[in-house]
Amino acid sequence: MVVMALVAVGCTSAALRSTTTSSPPPSPAIDLGATPQGWVPVAYRDAQLSVPKAWRVVDGGICGVKDLPPYVQVGQNAAGCNMAPPTPRVVIEPLFGSSATYHPRPSRLNGLTVIGLTRTASTIYFSVPSLGVEVWATGPLAAKVVRTFTRSPRAFVLASGPAPAVPSSWRRLSFAGISFAVPSVWPVQRTDTYYPACGPSPLVLGVGMAQATLDTDHRTIVHGCLFSAVQPIEPPVDGLAMDSGLGSLGTPSHPCWTLGGLSACVVPAFAYSVLVLSVKVPGRAKPVVVSIGLGGNGMTARTILFSLRAA
C-alpha cells in the first residue's frame, strides 16, 4: 500500500464542519475541458496542469540523471539541483517568497491572477499566490502546457460551501474507528501489509482503479524503492485508502478541521493528484492516514471527505 501526500493550502474550517446536505456544489468549478485529448492532468496543491501522456513525472532526486525524456516535476526541487537537464520539462512547486516584489504587475491566465509572467525564447514562468504555486515550463510545448493551467480537484474538495449529500446508492463502512461512505460498486480490499515507496505517486491504492483499501500495516515489506525518481505519469483516479498503523506522515498542516467528531489535517509532503489526511480518532493513540484520490471534478472525493465521522 503506497501513501503519499499533498501540501495543504488554506480552507475555512467552517466548510468542513458543515452538516448541510443541500445540492448546490461549492465553487470553484473544475475545468475538465482544460486537458487536451491524449494528455494527462497533474494536480499539485490547488493547481493543475496537463502534459502529454508519454511524458514522465519526477521527484527532486534527479541530480546527475542524463538523457531524461520530457517530464513534469512536482514539489520542491532538490537542494543543489536547480539546474535541470536540457530537456522539455515543467516544474510546479510551492511558491517561495513574494514574486510581486520583483514583478508587481499581475496578469490573467484562465481566470486566475498570475504574478511575474515571464517569457523567453524557451521558458515561461509565473506564480499564482492564490493557489500557492509557481510554474516553470521549458521546451517547444511550454506555451501549450501553460494554457492547460487551472484549479485542481482539490480546490473543489476543500472549498467552503455545503456538504454534498451521500447518494443512496453508496454504502457505509467502518474501519479503525472511522465510519465512511463509498460507492457500492467499489470493491473493498483488506490488507495488513505496508509497502514503502519513494517518488511521487497519484495512486492511493497502488492499483489504478476505484476501490477502498483498508490497511492495518501490521507487516512491512521492503524491496528498495517501489518507484524510481522517474516514472510514467498516471491519470488521477477516484479511490480511498485508510492506513491505521502508519501514524502521521509528517507534521500536519494547520488549521485542522472537525468532521463528525474526528479531527482531520492535511499532511504536507510530496505527491500529486491525491489528498492525504492525518485523522485523529477518539480513543486511538495514533492517527489514521486517509488517502482520497482526486479523479474527475473532485465530487466523489468531496462526498467521501464529508462522509467521515467517528464510528
pLDDT band at 204 (very low <50, low <70, confident <90, very high): low
**Percent of the chain clearing pLDDT 90 (strictly above):** 36
- What kind and span of H or E run contains 51? strand 47-52
pLDDT band at 30 (very low <50, low <70, confident <90, very high): confident
Per-residue pLDDT tens for 259-288?
Answer: 999 999 888 666 788 898 899 999 998 899
DSSP SS3 for 218: strand
In whole angstroms, give the CA distance from residue 53 to residue 20.
Answer: 39
Tell me which of 276 and 63 has the higher pLDDT: 276
Helix boundaries (H) for the chain: 13-17, 142-146, 153-157, 299-307
Residue 40 is predicted with a pLDDT of 94
pLDDT band at 157 (very low <50, low <70, confident <90, very high): very high
Torsion-angle region of residue 305: left (phi > 0), alpha (psi -120 to 50) or beta? alpha
Per-residue pLDDT tens for 217-233?
Answer: 777 665 555 456 678 88
For 64, residues 6+ apart whose C-beta sits below 8 A from its C-beta are none
Residue 269 is predicted with a pLDDT of 61
Beta bridge partners of 257: 264
Cα Rg for the chain, rounded, in angstroms? 19
Q: What is the mean pLDDT of the chain?
A: 79
Residue 117 is predicted with a pLDDT of 86
Residue 18 is predicted with a pLDDT of 38
Q: Say yes or no to pLDDT of 213 above 80.
A: yes
Q: Say yes or no to pLDDT of 26 above 70.
A: no
For 137, residues 6+ apart whose C-beta sits below 8 A from its C-beta are 89, 90, 91, 123, 124, 125, 143, 145, 146
In whole angstroms, give the CA distance from residue 269 to residue 74.
Answer: 11
Residue 234 is predicted with a pLDDT of 85
